[in-house]
Amino acid sequence: MNTYTLTRVMRSSDGTFGILSQDKKPLCCTVENDWLDNQQRISCIPPGVYECEPFSGTKYKDVWILKDVPGRSYILIHAGNTHKHTEGCILVGKGFAELHGIPAVTNSRDTLQMLRKVMPQEFKLEIIEKFD
């Protein structure tokens, strides 16, 4: 099973920002909630290695779900721009910018489409933190 790495590089009350890569080759940028003790719907998830598989629900179609996240459920990789667009999930984008004064990722829908083409249906996601 292929392994992808999400390296978290910056954290603030406006979100946790990272780079998704495979074999040290960047694929996209990410934004998640700030760390709030792994609380449901308002915190990013703990670092670790998670298996991911395809998921389609009523709101999000053709995305990935992370399996066996401690104390959490329905953690998805999907489109969105700021930490206000997530309830604990991982949002993907082409780059970093500001949206209405809030740190954000850009071109999220296009980035998700690109990931659907280059990533396998099932994979492992290793989340690590490298904050200054």
Distance CA 10, CA 8 (A): 6
Give the residue ranges of DSSP H helices in the chain.
Answer: 108-118
Encoded amino acid at 38, one letter: N
Mean pLDDT of 14-19: 98
pLDDT of residue 132 exceeding 90:
no
Residue 17 CB: number of other CB atoms within 10 A? Answer: 20
pLDDT of residue 28 exceeding 90:
yes
Distance CA 27, CA 56 (A): 22
The most distant pair of C-alpha atoms in the chain lies apart, rounded to whole Å, by 39
Encoded amino acid at 1, one letter: M
Which domain, by its residues, includes 26? 3-129
Structure tokens at 51: 């298996």
Distance CA 35, CA 37 (A): 6
CATH code of the domain containing 43: 2.40.440
Structure confidence at residue 95 (pLDDT): 97
pLDDT tens, 56-99?
Answer: 999 999 999 999 999 999 999 999 999 999 999 999 999 999 99
Counting the structural domains of the chain, the total is 1
